[in-house]
């Protein structure tokens, strides 16, 4: 993709991977990354009942890591992030009602102001950007993060692992790479 062309304003329709979110309304709307992405027309907010098979669902309790293996499903159906409080996260993810291809993100460090420096406590935009980066949509990941004044810090903090994860072909390879960062 031509980076100059990509730097122009994009919307949900311009992304090869559609982004979705279930929004639990448990956060401060002024800090909510999903609501900011929605404002820029880069994400669709959907109810849990609309998350069906085929979607890649980012789930911190999933058994399998996102990887290049998920690229085709992501392109065909989309990636879903569940935007909810970290304090209440288990009740949503462990309910057994969540459908789709559940995928965990590998070890990464948050750069968002609320959880800066905390491993695995990513904001929704960090999670979506990491997923896009890993499956090969690096410029799209950067585009999302550039909407946030701290977004570039996420890429700086996680530069090496993101590059290594993006070069891995399978979930097993990503898990092996992740061991070097734990």
**pLDDT per residue rounded down to tens, the chain (182 residues):** 344 445 567 777 688 999 999 887 767 768 789 999 999 999 999 988 888 888 999 998 899 999 999 999 999 999 999 987 655 566 665 566 677 899 999 999 999 999 999 999 999 999 999 999 999 999 999 999 999 999 999 999 999 999 999 999 999 999 999 999 98
pLDDT of residue 2: 40
Overall domain count for the chain = 1
* Residue 182, pLDDT score: 87
Residue 5 lies inside a defined structural domain of this protein: no
Distances in whole angstroms, Cα of residue 91 to Cα of each of 27, 61, 159: 16, 11, 32
pLDDT recorded at residue 1:
39
pTM of the model: 0.89
Domain range spanning residue 113? 13-178
* In a domain? residue 6: no
Alpha-carbon 49 to chain mean position: 20
């Amino acid at each position: 993709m031509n980076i100059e062309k990509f730097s122009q304003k994009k919307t949900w329709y311009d992304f090869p991977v559609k982004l979705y979110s279930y929004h639990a309304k448990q956060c401060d709307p002024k800090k909510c990354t999903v609501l900011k992405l929605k404002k820029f027309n880069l994400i669709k907010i959907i109810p849990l009942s609309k998350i069906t098979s085929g979607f890649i669902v980012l789930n911190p309790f999933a058994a399998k890591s996102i990887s290049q293996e998920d690229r085709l499903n992501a392109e065909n159906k989309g990636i879903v992030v569940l935007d909810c409080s970290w304090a209440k996260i288990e009740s949503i993810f462990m309910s057994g009602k969540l459908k789709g291809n559940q995928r965990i993100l590998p070890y990464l460090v948050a750069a968002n102001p609320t959880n800066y420096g905390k491993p695995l406590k990513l904001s929704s935009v960090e999670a979506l950007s990491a997923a896009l980066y890993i499956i090969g949509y690096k410029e799209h990941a950067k585009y999302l993060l550039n909407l946030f004044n701290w977004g570039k810090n996420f890429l700086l903090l996680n530069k090496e692992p993101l590059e290594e994860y993006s070069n891995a072909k399978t979930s097993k390879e990503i898990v092996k790479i992740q061991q070097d960062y734990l």
